């Protein structure tokens, strides 16, 4: 199982309410895209799904987010275990200033895996899972900062896969990349949904329409509607969604 249920979620930064009464199901082995103008709350919402917002001063959450039936905001939640289950890939490629091998092995090592053969296997499988093994297998000792931006982003995806998450969160993973690298990441993401549940923030509506199964439209901290991607893009229920998709604002 790798499903999340979000119920009556509110988020504040101090006195400012960033999210208002969000209700959503994130369905196993599907890609859900979060779209909306800048400042609409989509990235803020994404970060509530693995409690990255805990790192923001004065952030406060009410409501529940259940992962496989367990509330991730319950007081006894081990956030490290949560972030192992719910991995994150950021907007700009952010490999560690280490070798490609050590980037991928970092997570498994922090979770107690020290056997060299086991680490070798995890590194190879993760890089294969991120569709970059053939490009880097002969120079795993090179700095991950020495390869191209698109390759760095796939290394970051491999790093997220190495700890065997159930869910992958992606915050505009292609916005800093060229069109060829973007196409490779999109192709990769569509294959990853066979094994993972994926939630992705994107500013690129064509990307959302190409690769997602469901789309959620955010505006001013509210979830305006969620539906099958085809329906959102061809027959949305809300005028605000229609206006955003047709380019009247945003």
DSSP-derived letter for residue 202 is -
Q: Give the model's pLDDT for residue 2.
A: 83
Q: What is the mean pLDDT of residues 205-216?
A: 96
Q: Give the model's pLDDT for residue 236.
A: 96
Name the helix (H) or strand (E) containing 216: strand 214-219
**What is 75-104 written as a DSSP string?**
TT--HHHHHHHEEEE-SS----SSBHHHHH
Task: Check pLDDT > 90 for residue 225.
Answer: yes
- Per-residue pLDDT tens for 14-60? 999 999 999 999 999 999 999 999 999 999 999 999 999 998 989 99
Q: Give the model's pLDDT for residue 1.
A: 58
Task: Check pLDDT > 70 for residue 139.
Answer: yes
Q: What is the mean pLDDT of residues 91-107?
A: 96
Q: Give the model's pLDDT for residue 149.
A: 94
Distance in angstroms (rounded) separating the CA atoms of residues 98 and 64: 37
Mean per-residue pLDDT of the chain: 95
Q: Give the model's pLDDT for residue 250.
A: 64
Q: Give the model's pLDDT for residue 166.
A: 95
Q: Cα-flanking dihedrals φ and ψ of residue 62, to 5°?
A: -125, 155
Both structure tokens of 91: 């907007």
- Return the percentage of the chain with pLDDT > 90, whole number: 93
Q: What is the mean pLDDT of residues 99-103?
A: 98
Distance in angstroms (rounded) separating the CA atoms of residues 125 and 34: 29
Q: Give the model's pLDDT for residue 248.
A: 81
Q: Is 4 helix (H, G, I), strand (E, B) or coil?
A: strand
Q: Give the model's pLDDT for residue 249.
A: 72
- Per-residue pLDDT tens for 54-89? 989 899 999 999 999 999 999 999 999 999 999 999
């Amino acid at each position: 199982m790798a499903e999340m249920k979000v119920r009556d979620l509110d988020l504040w930064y101090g006195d400012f309410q960033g999210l208002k009464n969000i209700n959503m199901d994130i369905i196993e082995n599907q890609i859900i895209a979060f779209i909306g103008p800048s400042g609409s709350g989509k990235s803020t919402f994404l970060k509530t799904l693995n409690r990255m917002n805990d790192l923001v001063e004065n952030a406060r959450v009410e409501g529940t987010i259940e992962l496989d039936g367990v509330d991730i905001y319950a007081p006894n939640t081990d956030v490290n275990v949560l972030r192992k289950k719910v991995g994150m890939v950021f907007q700009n490629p952010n490999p560690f200033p280490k070798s490609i091998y050590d980037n991928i092995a970092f997570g498994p090592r922090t979770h107690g895996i020290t056997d060299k053969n086991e680490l070798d296997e995890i590194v190879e499988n993760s890089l294969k899972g991120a569709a970059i093994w053939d490009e880097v297998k002969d120079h795993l000792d090179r700095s991950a900062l020495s390869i191209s931006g698109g390759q760095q982003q796939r290394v970051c995806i491999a790093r997220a896969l190495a700890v065997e998450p159930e869910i992958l969160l992606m915050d505009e993973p292609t916005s800093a990349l060229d069109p060829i690298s973007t196409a490779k990441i999109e192709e990769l993401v569509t294959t990853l949904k066979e094994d993972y549940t994926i939630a992705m923030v994107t500013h690129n509506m064509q990307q959302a329409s190409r690769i997602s199964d469901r789309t959620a439209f955010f505006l001013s901290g509210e979830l305006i509607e969620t539906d099958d991607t085809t329906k959102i893009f061809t027959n949305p229920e809300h005028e605000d969604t229609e206006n955003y998709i047709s380019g009247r604002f945003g």
